[in-house]
């Protein structure tokens, strides 16, 4: 028999040997998930013995992690905005940059001003953007689209868990017929195809469709603008989009060509990297 303390030490050592950051947190997460206990117990119950079957379960997770499988997929959860969300391989894993996208959107709009407003989250993935927005603006109408059935199922599951009402649509932006939208917020695929092959191994385990922005990184962003012009009839008061720092100039130029009468800005994130395209 092996104890939690012993298996924890083993995991931390192997993760460190494989240059995986946050090894202690990851070890605790794997143990608590495998044993069905909370993180606190996994931290303090070092002398608690685990069964051979439980040990095998943990080792299988560890092997996958060392081979580049993201922790969030292994334990089916990711914290975002200090809340726990369900994730799996059908969705992009929520990141800090997207929290900053939402915080910027919140800084522009008071709760009162969003009453009965229609907000569209394009490429919803796990649904974290729309869910956090709905909790902030409970009297607004949240609509989302994603072309992946698997992603829509994950987003719906998270909305049910969080007990918020959101309208989900399985659709591509180029065929989307939703109109009368007041606000657009999106974390679309924005990486240039030339960048994709150089991504970290674990990022390559995430859905390619959620990363691939075409040759110039602007493929989906351009389609968003086309939809907003042709279907939404330029009704949106604000369009807030997460971007890659490598397309800051191109994305701003594209936005200005569609919206010559709006204020187009590139907003830096907390690390002083240009990550938000703001059209207001």
**Tens digits of per-residue pLDDT, 218-248?**
999 999 999 999 999 999 999 999 999 999 9
Decide if pLDDT at 1 tops 90: no
Spatial neighbors of 140 by CB under 8 A, at least 6 apart, are 114, 115, 116, 117, 118, 119, 133, 134
pLDDT tens digits for range 12-43: 999 999 999 999 999 999 999 999 999 999 99
Domain ranges for the chain, please list them.
2-67, 89-279
pLDDT tens digits for range 88-107: 999 999 999 999 999 999 99
Round to whole Å and give the CA distance between 247 and 55: 46
Round to whole Å and give the CA distance between 65 and 15: 8
- State residue 274 phi and psi, 5-degree precision: -70, 110
With H, G, I as helix, E, B as strand and everything else as coil, classify residue 243: coil
Decide if pLDDT at 72 tops 90: yes
Total-model pTM = 0.94
The third-level CATH classification (topology) of the domain covering 89-279 is: Rossmann fold (3.40.50)
DSSP 200-219: -TTGGGS-GGGTB--TTS-H
With H, G, I as helix, E, B as strand and everything else as coil, classify residue 101: helix
Nearest to 20 by CA among 62, 59, 54, 60: 62
pLDDT tens digits for range 121-170: 999 999 999 999 999 999 999 999 999 999 999 999 999 999 999 999 99
Read off the DSSP letter of residue 158. H
The third-level CATH classification (topology) of the domain covering 2-67 is: Helicase, Ruva Protein; domain 3 (1.10.8)
Under a CB-based contact definition with an 8 Å cutoff, are residues 152 and 94 in contact?
no
- pLDDT given at position 268: 97
């Amino acid at each position: 028999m092996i104890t939690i303390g012993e298996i924890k030490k083993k995991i931390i050592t192997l993760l460190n040997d494989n240059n995986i950051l946050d090894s202690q947190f990851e070890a605790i997460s794997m143990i608590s998930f495998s044993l069905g206990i909370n993180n606190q117990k996994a931290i303090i119950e070092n002398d608690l013995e685990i069964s051979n079957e439980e040990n095998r379960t943990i080792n299988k997770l560890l092997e996958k992690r060392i081979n580049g499988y993201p922790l969030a997929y292994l334990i089916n959860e990711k914290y975002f905005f200090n809340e726990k969300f369900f994730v799996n391989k059908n969705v992009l894993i929520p990141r800090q940059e997207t929290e900053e996208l939402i915080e910027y959107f919140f800084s522009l709009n008071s709760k009162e001003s969003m009453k009965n407003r229609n907000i569209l989250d394009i490429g919803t993935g796990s649904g974290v953007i729309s869910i956090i927005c709905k909790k902030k603006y409970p009297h607004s109408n949240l609509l989302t689209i994603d072309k992946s059935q698997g992603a829509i199922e994950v987003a719906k599951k998270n909305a049910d868990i969080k007990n918020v009402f959101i309208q989900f649509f399985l659709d591509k932006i180029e065929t989307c017929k939703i109109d009368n939208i007041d606000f657009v917020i999106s974390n679309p695929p924005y990486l240039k195809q030339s960048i994709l092959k150089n991504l970290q191994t674990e990022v390559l385990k995430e859905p390619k469709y959620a990363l691939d922005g075409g040759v110039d990184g602007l493929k989906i962003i351009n389609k968003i603008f086309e939809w907003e012009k042709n279907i939404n009839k330029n009704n949106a008061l604000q369009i807030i989009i997460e971007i890659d720092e490598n397309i800051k100039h191109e994305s701003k130029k594209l936005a200005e060509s569609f919206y010559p009468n709006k204020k187009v800005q590139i907003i830096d994130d907390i690390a002083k990297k240009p990550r938000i395209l703001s059209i207001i």
